[in-house]
Amino acid sequence: MNRDDYCEIIQKSSPKLMYCEHFDEDSDKWDFSRHSHPYIELIFFLEGKADLEVGGQTLKTTLYDTLVYPAGMLHRDGLSPERTREIICLWVDIPQLVLTQPIILHERRGTLKSLFQLVYRFGKEEENDPYRIEYALKLLLTEVMFEAFRASGNETRPNAVVPYILEHYTEKITLEELASLEHISVSYLARRFKETTGMTIISYIHHLRIEKARELLISSSLTASEISYMVGFDSPKYFHRIFKKETGESPAQFRRTYTKQQTE
């Protein structure tokens, strides 16, 4: 089947959310045995990385990856110990959508992360509305299919670059350093990266840094200047400019908005 066939199946079906959890490395919800589920399992890696055994092969995932297990596929989760581990895990009952292989996707613009968070929020509401959950699941599954077919059509994409950036985005990264990973020229790398992700390398790195900065502004009392250096910017002033460009607010405004929403 092609992408449109899968998307039509999703839109005509009524997916149901059977499991919805957000947990980290301290949780007792991890299952390190070899197991399967009767539903499609979708996992988004908010932090950390993993080496996974699926169908006799080892798959590697990292920060901001989306992993999809077909219903009934045996797998074993093995997590790397050197980083904080945090995921959103969803089980979706949609018998009409038959997948034969696991899917791993690298985040491009934050869309998958936002959709996972939307499904999780709807799923955890005390008076959750099944229509809203179904709508959010259709959005998420459709985006997964679009990204999966986009990735499969770019066999010449720079495979080593995105994982490297995800691992080192808070550090100084040069285009020459990235190009050397693939043994290609900087100009070819820049062109292929833009074709594959829809973003320039610098924009992609900025996006990751700002996402991390948003998390720190919400979860810590660190100043914006302190956070700017922690996420990889050399200048708080430059960080402020990029943050406002990405979010529409200054770091201080973003923190105030979030605090106000929490108290309402």
**What is the CATH number for 201?**
1.10.10.60
Residues 103 and 174 in one domain: no
Same domain, 112 and 195: no
Q: Is the model's pLDDT at 78 over the cut of 90?
A: no
* 240 close to 224: Cβ distance less than 8 angstroms: yes
Q: Are residues 82 and 101 in the same domain?
A: yes
Q: Could you tell me the residue range of the domain that residue 97 belongs to?
A: 3-152
Question: What pLDDT, on a 0 to 100 scale, did the predictor assign at position 81?
Answer: 55
Tell whether 197 and 251 lie within a shared domain.
yes
Q: How confident is the model at residue 155 (pLDDT cuts 50, 70, 90)?
A: very low
- Pair (110, 148) in one structural domain: yes
Cα-Cα-Cα-Cα torsion 210, 192, 57, 116, nearest 10 degrees, comes to 30
Whole-number Å distance between alpha carbons of 251 and 244: 7
Please tell me the total number of residues recorded for the chain in this structure: 264
Higher pLDDT, 165 or 160: 165
Encoded tokens for 38: 């009767």
Does residue 79 share a domain with residue 199? no
Q: How far is CA 98 from CA 6, 9, 15, 93, 264, in A?
A: 9, 10, 13, 11, 43
Of residues 144 and 80, the one with the higher pLDDT is 144
The verdict on 46 and 75 lying in the same domain is yes
- Do 147 and 165 fall within a single domain? no
Which of 129, 152, 175 is where one domain is finished?
A: 152
Q: What would the two tokens of residue 75 be?
A: 């797998």
Indicate the pTM of the whole model. 0.66
> What does the pLDDT read at residue 156?
46
Query: 80 with 133, same domain?
Result: yes
Q: Which helix (H) or strand (E) is 59 found in, with range?
A: strand 57-61
Q: DSSP secondary structure string, 29-97?
A: ----SSB--SSEEEEEEEE--EEEEETTEEEEE-TTEEEEEPTT--EEEEE-TTS--EEEEEEEE-TT-
Last residue of a domain, one of 107, 135, 152: 152
